[in-house]
Amino acid sequence: MKKIILSLSLAIGLATTAFAQPELVTGPAISLDKDTHDYGDIAFDSNGACQFKVTNTGNEPLIISGCQGSCGCTVPKDWSREPLAPGASGKFSVKFNGSGANKVTKTITVTANTEKGSEVVKITAFVKPDPTITK
């Protein structure tokens, strides 16, 4: 009898775990399609552009109040200024002017009305040397 009760308890426990519902996010929540964009090798002072897709995975409207690059060579723009309904998606673009040398990493901070308050994405590139400078 003990073996039957133990087996039933184990089966019920496994069934409950297998069909558990995912944890619901209360309030707005931001999900990005990627956390880094790699431009690869680029020429010195060349321009590059990329986009990041933003999805509201919460249950209340998501409001992106700003996007800020870590320096003047990294310019985020065109972010979705209207509230994103639950399940809706938007985007923002980032322009990078290829200044610097060798491996370069810059960040973009996305400020929103989420519990965390902001998300950070990165862009990276290997900037080739300035051809006008001779050694």
Give residue-wise pLDDT tens across range 27-63: 999 999 999 999 999 988 888 899 999 999 999 999 9
Q: What is the mean pLDDT of residues 18-24?
A: 49
Q: What is the pTM of this model?
A: 0.76
- C-beta neighbour count of 121 within 10 angstroms: 22
CA dist., res. 2 & res. 76, Å (int): 65
